[in-house]
Structure 1
């Protein structure tokens, strides 16, 4: 009940003057429109040309799961009436503006749409694709060719549709229909506490908490290096996945690593590991291969912004340097072995 009340009151605050502040702290449910880089200028370096891009993208904004839809359809409507009644009795501290927003609030979502991609999620993917194409015209060709482009997604409606709407943003409508997809594979203490809880959860479940967790991402890292090291293969690879995968890859690349482990007994307000920033809906990581005077370099972008990988001296990092640093990820990536239960562990 407390969670339902929090959601409904948050809606009222969302519609007030503090809305942008609240939207920025919704953990992994933060909308991408608040995090994406709207500057779509081509990213250029002297004597360099972008030739390949490998990009992993979390699905766009989705609807809640069945359990939450049921709660919203029932309990939130009851809470709405209760809040309005108490306000008429002179109780509560909500403003008239917030009360009006609650009065106008409606919700009627069918259970069969649980976790489906929303209209906002569709727009997130289209706009992300349009900006990506403009930034890297060398790697992302104007015309679709199934030998040049690779699209892969997990076996969920939200990932599949994210891939399709992303394709709609890359190409015109006719070409988008021809795309071949690979088989599925302000300080509010309550809000900040919930946000930290989620950061803590994902830190230990998908981040730096246990090394085995992020070592699993070697499969994806290896795939990227194999593509960048080959003369052939697709020049643009787009992989649509989920929160856990994005976080594991970011951790494997040593990005957003806190100075010490996150703990449940202490909130770290200035932490770099913050799901609202690094794992929102539509979160993405792009690695772009540049050819500079005959030498290959890699540029990393998170949420469409250039980031310097910790093991590199500059933003534009020699491919050779990265391959040496991630030697084990490339040549000793045995997913089956690392995830098997050893006799000594029994």
Structure 2
């Protein structure tokens, strides 16, 4: 299975929900929420892609880096490359029913395991969204990291405890879904969380706690103070608040503030192994990838997900050789021009 075949098959199955454009930049799908686009004008989605594209890599080939190390350890997990699949839920609503929730979660969990890494699974107004991730783990397809909507804290704790009992090695909340309209319309309250509420969640759960949706240094600092294990620098793929900056723009400032005190993950516009390397140079410990792996899952199931991850691994390896980078755990900022 190859990338071009995956894209062709996914384009057919999406039936317009995602056009699988030659360049996935949020232009054609602007405002398509529900769907795969960015909210409103689509600026936040485009800003992610444009901000990352604005960083250039220095080509260096006079060195002795022949076999760079792609593997890393994140939150106690040994990964074959510094990539985690981002959580995507609401498959019927956002993907024109290209797959069921269970089929999508199974493809992500099994495909990530096949490629030597791990996937996150989602949550939503219908219980089957969260349950899909637990079922994938129960079926022995692999471990997963469930991401919970920013519900009332006791509900978050309850779901996190269920995730731990199912074998999840970590859990998180996508706090950037604090104003998600489909949750509100379904009568399920979501909202912002205080530092004390984050601390409460951490104190009442037993596995590493990730907060996704951090875009400022002060909120990264608040997560550190609350005892959170990891943050994801993210604007929800441009689907939460219009006109936010790209994640690559804010990542260096966040890394300057909390690097070494908390695990830093990042998503937003990552479309190649070179993009992964840029994010590592900007201060991330690993990245989350969403839309490209959705294309892999829809186009080819678990094998499609693994194919996309292996494609990224090959591109990352080449970019490391051509920048003189020996280890993903020690990427220097000076590889950026």
Normalised by the length of structure 2, the TM-score is: 0.31
Normalised by the length of structure 1, the TM-score is: 0.30
Greater Cα radius of gyration, structure 1 or 2: 1
